[in-house]
Amino acid sequence: MGKKTNTLLFIIGGTIFNIVLTVLCFVVFYLMYINFFFPHLPQNSASWVIPVNFAVSTTTSWIVYRRFIKFLAKKTNIAQYIIEGVLTRRDS
């Protein structure tokens, strides 16, 4: 396989991993809310819990994903198999 194919597979795999991680974080944080916070908060708090939970889950999964990619790049030499610039962060 060439670098383009490897890069495409890396990006698709990373996207699937990030989506699954976001859903997992959402479920875990929602279960934490139900078990720990719901009994102590007023009933109208449910209207803002899902958007806040989604934002926290997305942020958490992004942080975990970035750290995992850095760990993967450090432990393996994945940079030689994918197109240059995919693993680096571009600030513009």
Structural domain total, the chain = 1
Q: What is the pTM of this model?
A: 0.77
- Structure confidence at residue 50 (pLDDT): 87
Helix/strand number for the chain, H first, E second: 2, 0
Residue 13: inside a domain? yes
Q: DSSP string spanning 28-57?
A: HHHHHIIIIIGGGS-GGGHHHHHHHHHHHH
Band the pLDDT of 92: cuts 50, 70, 90: very low
- The residue range of the domain holding 53 is 3-39+46-80
What is the tens place of the pLDDT at every residue in 14-25?
A: 899 999 999 999
How far apart CA 87 and CA 79 sit, in angstroms, is: 7
pLDDT in tens, 30-39: 898 888 877 7
Is there a domain that residue 32 lies in?
yes
Q: Is residue 89 part of a domain?
A: no
